[in-house]
Structure 1
């Protein structure tokens, strides 16, 4: 059984990055992390590594299977932030700003991209049975980023990487007409390079395991859950017969590696980590997001029914939430609100959850009850003042409630505080559009594109702003200066890519 076109593109990308997996050491004065390999640095600088990651992310964000879901992204990045904060030195000399995201795919997999971008499949999130298990996967991927494994292999194994890349591209073209032929070409062409890298890749995996265990321990998570989850993954791979599962392509998982982890945690003091309610809620949300077909919705409903029958507090709340989210997806807002209230009542003794609050706001916005949504958001902002999801919803509700000017004031403040948030600029463009300010709308869209790394598209958008009938002298001056700056930046980046 072969992958769908979208799955194949993603598998192609991740497999290519796996072929390029290696090690770059850091100065021991900068971080206390284990070092493998010699002292030579790869040819990929931290700056170019980040740029490469941004370019890959730009393509991933355009994929319909990229889960651009605000509560899910906020949960993953808050959770990932806890792991990074437990060991700040994992940012390394490059001081990487980590970004965690999810893609819609039932296959158990997770992957690290150059420059601090870490992706996880929806199927893996659902397969984790505790927050410590999810933490073990993310911590492992943080280890890959910290040690700059991809950058190292790009510097040390260029020839083999080119062999694999050429074969994979040929396979991708062949796949369009014949899935079997394309897969055969890809696997045959890449096997030489991948086999040559396998032993080194296993060393990198063990290194990422050691770093991951350190992060788990310092973060207060149960380190034994790394072994538990890896054992479950190993069992799951037995279901694959003809095609090697993606996780094994990118993360060679052996009994020796699991035994090594067990030996390292044997003398550690046991730490029990209580799962947050948000973990159970986000798994319920992901279950619905993973497949929006009616059949899948009915299957999810059955799973939530079974959770209710267990009578456990968090499972009950999550099941009610999942049912409410299904009703919301079906545009049955009255039923969604009723089920959500039941979930909130069941969760009353527990710590407040922004995920529950978010769905209540989503329901109001979906039902076009914008004034009611604003009230909910304003109340929630006192509980969750740092929530980016709530900030975006507040701006959206203001715009929909014909309060564009107030939205613009708020978003301009947000743009100063959160300079790397593209959604702020996108919402600002929407607010300007509501006022008919075409030049400012295009300028805001250009800034959103810059944040996402799309310099060429941003320059085009500035050209549109210049031609707008309402572009005044001040806007034209800003456009000219910004365009000149972006063109110079684009030129520098292109030159750097040639020199790499």
Structure 2
């Protein structure tokens, strides 16, 4: 996961990550046995990739490609893919295969992850990485049998049904994935390619659907807004932006108010990415006006999941915090950020935007106090440490700045860089006795970790 997070195509977008994790967590919570015998903590994320694909990694890490999010026509279709992947983790398919091999099994697994990421360059590139070097070992260890795939289908179907989704979405979307990847055989590892499904397995799912009660589920606006974000972020080239704008303009002509709101939202995000701040604000206002907020139901009810208010508030803050905005907006932005944080206290993205608004308004002491409390509550967020380092830098506190940066690097997997930052912190003129003691202890700990990692690589 450290390698994945460092990859340029890891979609480190707060709104998309929050949606996927809320959505995926609701699926897990609806099915009592979803966490399996290990009680796995799931983490859902997106990868920028034009291929229809999803894959699972050991430990409950589940990824979806941006193209898959865009291709899903409703939340039931998206749930079908995530539920299938949860099924693989629940049944410990990956762990079972790795457990049968030698301890160096993670080496070919790493090659498989690289192949999955390489698939964005095209299927030939992915197959090339897959077949090269560790290809045979990867196939032996992670090439799931048909029985394992059917088992994931069965568990995924049960998860969907328990969570209140329309189970027919599984057939609809899996057929779309099969059509998009028919050049691959059923022997292709499911994380590398796009879960090719045999007609036999689709027929089995249809049989299960006939035995289940019909259920129609109303999608929340947030689903359509996330698809719009994924469309913008998937391809940020000039042509990609043109194509995205055309897709959003087409959405505005549809009868669905959700689609229209998502079209305006997507055009607002495009304008923001091009630094057209006035246009971005206007488009966002149209998106908000298109659909009246509804009070909400939560994911597990099977009804509307979100009125999009949190995503609207977050984009509004992004626009107001963007470079080029007049300084007179500072107090208004801070007030808006505080209100958004109070309204959506569990949104990690909005919490950081609130801190950014305080920093922009010169409220550095308040920002430090807020960020230190956030760091205490959420120790695994490198972005919090980055903001804390930025605040310390604005205060001229060099030692604390580099200590915070060191912690950010540790969480990002760049331990040697973290050790370097601690060295810089030690040499800072404002380092106190307490700071030096803290630096020495942390540096010894990290230096030992670096030595262990080098030893492990040498042994491999």
Q: TM-score range by the shorter chain?
A: 0.7 to 0.9
| Residue 68 (structure 2) aligns with | 124
1:323-334 to 2 correspondences below 5 Å: 323-334=267-278
- Whether the 8 Å CA contact 1:213–1:223 is kept in 2: the answer is yes
Q: Secondary structure at the match of 1:112?
A: strand
**Aligned-pair distance for 1:410?**
0.3
Q: Which deviates more from structure 2 when the two are superposed, residues 371-380 or residues 322-331?
A: 371-380
Tell me the distance in 2 between the aligned counterparts of 1:365 and 1:73.
21
- Whether the 8 Å CA contact 2:144–2:190 is kept in 1: the answer is no
| Residue 484 (structure 1) aligns with | 444
> Residues 497, 219 of structure 1: CA spacing in aligned structure 2 closer, same or farther, 3 A cutoff?
farther
Q: Secondary structure at the match of 1:310?
A: coil
> Residues 307, 142 of structure 1: CA spacing in aligned structure 2 closer, same or farther, 3 A cutoff?
same
* Structure with larger RCO (C-alpha < 8 A, sep 6+): 1
User: Do structure 1's residue 408 and structure 2's residue 352 form an aligned pair?
Assistant: no
Structure 1 residues without counterparts, runs of 5 or longer = 1-56, 173-178
Tell me the distance in 2 between the aligned counterparts of 1:309 and 1:102.
28
Provide TM-score, normalisation by structure 1: 0.78
1:206-244 CA distance string (max 9 Å, x none): 222222112211111111111111011112224789xx8
Equivalent residue in structure 2 for 1:357, among 308, 313, 328:
313
**Aligned-pair distance for 1:309?**
1.2
> Residues 470, 92 of structure 1: CA spacing in aligned structure 2 closer, same or farther, 3 A cutoff?
farther
Structure 2 residues without counterparts, runs of 5 or longer = 117-122, 295-306
- Whether the 8 Å CA contact 1:143–1:212 is kept in 2: the answer is yes
1:63-86 CA distance string (max 9 Å, x none): 211111111111111111211221
Count the aligned residue pairs.
435
Tell me the distance in 2 between the aligned counterparts of 1:420 and 1:159.
28
1:160-179 to 2 correspondences below 5 Å: none
Q: Secondary structure at the match of 1:372?
A: helix
Q: Secondary structure at the match of 1:119?
A: strand
Tell me the distance in 2 between the aligned counterparts of 1:92 and 1:495.
33
What CA RMSD, in Å, does the superposition of the two structures yield over aligned residues?
A: 3.4
Q: Which deviates more from structure 2 when the two are superposed, residues 209-218 or residues 356-365?
A: 209-218
- Whether the 8 Å CA contact 1:202–1:252 is kept in 2: the answer is no
- Whether the 8 Å CA contact 1:288–1:300 is kept in 2: the answer is yes
| Residue 346 (structure 1) aligns with | 290
| Residue 51 (structure 1) aligns with | none
Q: Secondary structure at the match of 2:253?
A: helix
1:27-52 CA distance string (max 9 Å, x none): xxxxxxxxxxxxxxxxxxxxxxxxxx
1:427-465 CA distance string (max 9 Å, x none): 111111111111111211222233334444333332332
- Whether the 8 Å CA contact 1:422–1:448 is kept in 2: the answer is yes
Tell me the distance in 2 between the aligned counterparts of 1:187 and 1:492.
30
| Residue 86 (structure 1) aligns with | 30
Provide TM-score, normalisation by structure 2: 0.84
- Whether the 8 Å CA contact 2:337–2:350 is kept in 1: the answer is yes
Equivalent residue in structure 2 for 1:436, among 392, 396, 410:
396
Equivalent residue in structure 2 for 1:391, among 327, 331, 351:
351
User: Do structure 1's residue 156 and structure 2's residue 100 form an aligned pair?
Assistant: yes
Tell me the distance in 1 between the aligned counterparts of 2:142 and 2:98.
15
| Residue 108 (structure 1) aligns with | 52
Tell me the distance in 1 between the aligned counterparts of 2:317 and 2:80.
32
1:113-145 CA distance string (max 9 Å, x none): 121211111111111001111111111112222
Q: Secondary structure at the match of 1:323?
A: helix
